[in-house]
């Protein structure tokens, strides 16, 4: 086996994006240029206990019920999965926050200028806490793709933003969930910022009949892995 093959067989290698990724233009003026300073675990506070949750109600996890006058337009879906750490242990009590565009590809955000319609019955934000087995579950609608100005004819694949906040910053993760079969993924500099194709695949949800509710909603499974105690920091994963 050559050295190159050995490196490729390390599943950490290329599993996280570098800070500077010029194809994603916004990194150019925002990525630090100097090497990060390695902090040994004995000096780091990332494992110190932190708990940032406010009350989360069950209604927060159903994004189709947040409108003032009925349900949002779009394809109703269930998105569910588990949050585990790299030792395979469930992460219970983690705050999972999601936000997304509506079915037409428009965010409710004031700075979104995409000329697609807003949906008066869709805000697009939800949250829940993982249960004792690390499970979470949302009901929402499938978001639309939308254009952005990164390059000529740039379109973001449909995605749902995820924020995971466990009981310390070691497990902190902000990421995006994509949908299987979306042709825009092959052209998206944000997803392609993750060097390893196997790692990118783990950001693509799986259509799941066991989550699909008859006569009601399609189901997508999206499992999430966060760092565990003593695990390699991010720079060793790029």
Indicate which residues carry an active-site annotation.
107, 146, 156, 159, 161
Backbone angles phi and psi of 8, in degrees to 5: -65, -30
For other proteins, the closer of residues 73 and 199 by Cβ is 199
HSE-up of residue 218 (Cα within 13 Å, Cβ side): 11
Contact predicate 217/76, CB 8 Å = yes
CB of 87 to other proteins, least distance (A): 7
CB of 215 to other proteins, least distance (A): 30
Task: Please list, in sequence order, all residues whose beta carbon lies within 8 angstroms of the beta carbon of residue 46, skipping any fewer than 6 positions away.
Answer: 168, 169, 170
CB of 214 to other proteins, least distance (A): 29
For other proteins, the closer of residues 54 and 186 by Cβ is 54
Task: Please list, in sequence order, all residues whose beta carbon lies within 8 angstroms of the beta carbon of residue 234, skipping any fewer than 6 positions away.
Answer: 16
For other proteins, the closer of residues 26 and 213 by Cβ is 26
70 vs 62: CA distance, rounded Å: 13
Residue with tokens 């990118």: 200
């Amino acid at each position: 086996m050559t050295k190159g093959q050995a490196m490729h067989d390390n599943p950490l290698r290329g599993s996280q994006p570098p800070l500077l990724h010029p194809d994603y233009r916004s990194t150019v003026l925002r990525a630090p240029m100097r090497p990060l300073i390695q902090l040994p675990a004995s000096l780091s506070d990332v494992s110190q206990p932190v708990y940032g949750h406010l009350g989360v109600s069950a209604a927060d996890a159903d994004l189709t019920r947040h409108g003032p006058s009925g349900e949002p337009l779009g394809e109703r879906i269930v998105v569910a999965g588990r949050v585990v750490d790299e030792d395979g242990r469930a992460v219970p009590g983690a705050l999972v926050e999601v936000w997304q565009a509506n079915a037409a590809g428009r965010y409710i955000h004031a700075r979104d200028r995409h000329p697609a319609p807003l949906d008066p019955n869709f805000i697009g934000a939800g949250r829940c806490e993982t249960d004792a087995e690390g499970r979470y579950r949302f009901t929402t609608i499938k978001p639309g793709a939308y254009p952005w100005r990164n390059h000529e004819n740039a379109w973001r694949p449909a995605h749902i933003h995820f924020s995971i906040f466990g009981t310390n910053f070691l497990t902190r993760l902000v990421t995006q969930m994509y949908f299987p079969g979306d042709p825009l993924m092959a052209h998206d500099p944000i997803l392609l910022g993750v060097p390893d194709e196997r790692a990118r695949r783990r950001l693509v949800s799986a259509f799941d009949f066991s989550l699909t509710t008859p006569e009601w909603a399609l189901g997508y499974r999206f499992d999430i892995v966060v760092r565990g105690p003593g695990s390699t920091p991010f720079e060793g994963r790029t």
